[in-house]
Amino acid sequence: MRRIFLLIASLIAVIGSSLTGAAQTTTSTAAGQISEFDVNGMKVLVKRRTGTPTVATGLYFRGGVKNLNAENAGLEALTIYTAAEATKSYPRARLRKETASVGTVISAGATYDFSALSMACTKEAFENSWKIFTDVVINPTFASEDVERIRGTFLTALRVQNDSPEAALDILSNTVVYAGHPYANDPKGTMANMARFKPSDLTAYHKMLLQTSRMLLVVVGDIDPAALKLQLDASFGKLPRGAYKDDGISAISFLRPSVEVASKSVETNYIKGIFAAPSLKDPDYYAMRTAITVLQSNLFQEVRVKRNLSYAPDAELDDHAANTASISVSTTRPNDAVAVMLEEIKKIRQGSVEAETIAQMSAYFLTTYYIKQETNAAQAGELAQYELLGGGWRNSLDFLDRMRKVKPSEVQAAANKYMKNIKFVVVGNAADVDRQVFLAN
């Protein structure tokens, strides 16, 4: 697999070399395509992409689970999702009819770090769709029938969240990793919380969210920023400013390795090892992303191809403000698989990643970056991600350049700094687990 990876990377490098000059030109002009302005305390980013047929809009509310506690975890998600159901001017049936007739989609989401209401529409439908979207944001009705329908969706998801071993593994890992941290308050909430929230709770929470100091608006498409600003002044510009300040969030750190096993009668053991990782705004992020990508390739080669210990070993880097990375595997031979995975981490910590591999990987990142950035929605999401979590949207323009500049010594340093004191969680047969193997890191 490693040879295949390098071969693919070499082929991509041929394409990437021709794109490098274009990438540098794009980076120098991209900032000029983005307008930034303030509407009564709300930051607005507009990226004008002339000639594109669609417009992507995202309104983000800062804070995420930092806004919550154990008693009201889930309230922000329920509020955001229910807001998208109906408004004072657009009851549910009318809202669905008008958006469906022009292909407009309004959706909601809630994460550990922020929540969002988003809209995707055609350029031609933007004016009318924008009126609906602003009413969704400012004037949701939170009618009892809408609250009950969305509540039922959340409760159904919470009831079945332990049914699959993969989901049970994620729940266990979150319990272990986020103990004592704000992320312990799951944005999806709990069964007890979801069952007791009333429409009046959503109305009050929505009022708290609707402060411009909490809000970030990102629009990507063939839209005139000056014209949009006039529309914003007339709508969001009338909202209260509030005094929200993002004081950051404590980083995830582990002082020692551990193993937590949840016994479950399954045919194979599901394993995840979590360790601390730099966030998007951390200078170590780019070296760590390189290290994780190399580790992912090496695990596939060593665990699956050479030893047939698992079908899909993996390594991942998350994208939270308080970030973690992980290795994972499902296997009937957990001790053998974990021993191999820890050995591959050890090799990277000892400096096994060479400059040639990084150079080939840079071409790979170049190509996949542009593939992922083809849609306006993807570009809006990236701008928001960097603005909220990555130290500012301008840092998004430096991604490829930062990846190209990663050095082997930086990869080794990042691996030694973060790939240690791994918290392992296992769903499966406790008798199959040799804790000493898992703690040898």
Domains of the chain: 2-28+251-438 (3.30.830.10), 40-238 (3.30.830.10)
Residue range 137-146: mean pLDDT, rounded: 97
**Residue in 145, 156, 67, 47 with CA at minimum distance from that of residue 110:** 67
pLDDT of residue 112: 97
Residue for token digits 């007791």? 196
pLDDT of residue 16: 42
pLDDT band of 5, cuts 50, 70, 90: very low
pLDDT of residue 364: 76
Q: Is the pLDDT of residue 166 over 50?
A: yes
pTM to 2 decimal places? 0.90
Could you tell me which residues come within 8 angstroms of residue 422 by beta carbon, excluding any fewer than 6 positions away? Answer: 254, 257, 273, 274, 275, 327, 342, 438, 441
Q: Is the pLDDT of residue 18 over 50?
A: no
d(CA 138, CA 141): 10
pLDDT of residue 363: 75
Residue range 320-326: mean pLDDT, rounded: 98
- As given in the structure block, the two tokens for residue 422 are 């791994």
d(CA 355, CA 215): 42
Per DSSP, helices labelled H in 45-177 are 75-83, 92-102, 126-138, 144-159, 165-177
pLDDT of residue 371: 79
**90 CB-contact burial (10 Å; exposed 0-12 / middle 13-18 / buried 19+):** buried
Whether 69 and 185 have beta carbons less than 8 Å apart is answered as yes
Tell me which amino acid residue 264 is: K
**350 CB-contact burial (10 Å; exposed 0-12 / middle 13-18 / buried 19+):** exposed
Residue range 134-146: mean pLDDT, rounded: 97
Pairing of strands 34-39, 423-428: unpaired
d(CA 229, CA 44): 9
d(CA 103, CA 124): 11
**169 CB-contact burial (10 Å; exposed 0-12 / middle 13-18 / buried 19+):** buried
Q: Is the pLDDT of residue 115 over 70?
A: yes
Q: Is the pLDDT of residue 182 over 60?
A: yes
Which of left, alpha, beta for 51 (phi over 0: left; psi -120 to 50: alpha)?
Answer: left
pLDDT tens per residue across span 33-74? 999 999 999 999 999 999 999 999 999 999 999 999 999 999
pLDDT of residue 247: 87
Q: Is the pLDDT of residue 17 over 70?
A: no
**Residue in 398, 60, 20 with CA at minimum distance from that of residue 209:** 60
pLDDT band of 255, cuts 50, 70, 90: very high
pLDDT of residue 69: 95
Q: Is 433 helix (H, G, I), strand (E, B) or coil?
A: coil
pLDDT of residue 29: 58
Strands, E, within 7-64: which ranges? 34-39, 42-48, 54-62
Residue range 310-332: mean pLDDT, rounded: 96
239 phi, psi to nearest 5 deg: -75, 155
Q: Is the pLDDT of residue 6 over 90?
A: no
d(CA 52, CA 289): 31
Q: Is the pLDDT of residue 142 over 60?
A: yes
pLDDT tens per residue across span 378-430? 999 999 999 999 999 999 999 889 999 999 999 999 999 999 999 999 999 99
Whether 315 and 292 have beta carbons less than 8 Å apart is answered as yes
Q: Is the pLDDT of residue 78 over 80?
A: yes
Mean pLDDT of the chain: 92
Q: Is the pLDDT of residue 9 over 50?
A: no
Residue range 240-248: mean pLDDT, rounded: 92
Which of these ranges, 16-25, 131-140, 181-190, 228-237, has the smallest mean pLDDT? 16-25
Whether 98 and 128 have beta carbons less than 8 Å apart is answered as yes
Residue 128: how many other CB atoms lie within 10 Å: 15
- Percent of all residues in the chain with a pLDDT value above 70, rounded to a whole number: 93
Residue range 154-165: mean pLDDT, rounded: 92
Q: Is the pLDDT of residue 168 over 50?
A: yes
pLDDT band of 15, cuts 50, 70, 90: very low
d(CA 231, CA 46): 13
**CA 163 to each of CA 101, 265, 269, 273: distance values in angstroms, whole numbers, following the listed order:** 38, 12, 15, 21
